[in-house]
Amino acid sequence: MSKLFRAVILGPPGSGKGTISERVANSFGLKHLSSGDFLRENIAAKTEAGVLAKTYIEKGALVPDHVMTRLMLSRLEEMTRHSWLLDGFPRTLAQAKVLNSAFELDVVISLNIPLETLKERLRHRWIHPASGRVYNMCFNPPRVQGVDDISGEPLIQHEDDRPEALVARLRHYKDVAKPVIDLYRAKGILHMFSDTETDRIWPYISSLLSTKIPTDLGDAQRVRTH
Ligand SMILES: Nc1nc2c(ncn2[C@@H]2O[C@H](COP(=O)(O)OP(=O)(O)OP(=O)(O)O)[C@@H](O)[C@H]2O)c(=O)[nH]1
Ligand SMILES: Nc1ncnc2c1ncn2[C@@H]1O[C@H](COP(=O)(O)OP(=O)(O)O)[C@@H](O)[C@H]1O
């Protein structure tokens, strides 16, 4: 069997993790696992972890490490024969250490986007709460203003995407993420990308992954998860 490829994408809210992960999944045929989407699926299915996670997410808090690691590792254990890219996990040093002890990562992508750009993007971000689908009124607007493309239901803005909440949220992210970034830098697998535009970052990520991902991977599992 060909060697599997394991990667993580890190970056503050609004940095484009979800957008880039979709492109990676489409271009390289690996599975994209978003912690936020996975939590929302668990909440919708009312699983034990989902019911618990909901109480934290509603308060704008992180889900506790032990809940998050149990949830994500059990999902990853179902995917042992697949290459994957994790988005939104690990978020804390404790989570990174647990992931480390279970899997060897090949590449960590870290998105370094200026604060002003993040503020501008999140100000224009609208979501469809039931599915987690994300729009940007400038970058990728819905077909009909204010309405989800698939369900036709109304879009809303995250309370914490509003400018007043944003700066505190981004500062908090930085504090929590720094030790995670340092850990991966020390392991020699960190690749940092800085720009204001996803479309300018993407070619660099694409060529990096082309050199790292075994060539027969695409044929073996050109499967999309969603
Ligand atoms: N203007 C602009 N918007 C972008 C660009 N890349 C992504 N976006 C938009 O910025 C917003 C954030 O992008 P996401 O891909 O959701 O970012 P994320 O890092 O996954 O964000 P979180 O889910 O909060 O962690 C979305 O509304 C995207 O459509 C870009 O290069 N330019
Ligand atoms: N790795 C994680 N550890 C703890 N909580 C998490 C993690 N990933 C996601 N969450 C929780 O789920 C929520 C939604 O996650 P996400 O869709 O990534 O959006 P955002 O991080 O932009 O709020 C987070 O605000 C947080 O409460």
Reported as a single tens digit per residue, the pLDDT across 45-55 is 999 999 999 99
If residue 7 lies in a helix (H) or strand (E), which one and from where to where?
strand 6-10
Give the per-residue pLDDT at 216.
54
Residue 119 reports pLDDT greater than 60: yes
Which atom number of ligand 2 is nearest to the Cα of residue 72?
1
In terms of pLDDT, which residue wins out, 62 or 1? 62
Torsion of CA 114, 119, 125, 129, to 10 degrees: 100
Instruction: Give the gyration radius of the chain's Cα atoms.
Output: 17
Average pLDDT, the chain: 89
DSSP count for the chain of H helices, then E strands? 9, 7
Q: Does 94 appear as a known binding residue?
A: no
CA distances from 92 to 6, 149, 180 (A): 18, 34, 6
Q: Does 222 appear as a known binding residue?
A: no
Cβ neighbours, 10 Å, residue 144: 10
Say what the ipTM of the complex is.
0.92
62, 71, 127, best to mutate for ligand 2 pocket (most atoms within 8 Å of CB): 62
- Please report which confidence band the pLDDT of residue 138 belongs to, taking 50, 70 and 90 as the band edges: confident
Is this prediction's pTM over 0.90? no
For strand 190-194 and strand 6-10, is the pairing parallel, antiparallel, or unpaired? Answer: unpaired
List the one residue out of 140, 105, 115, 112 whose CA is nearest residue 126.
140
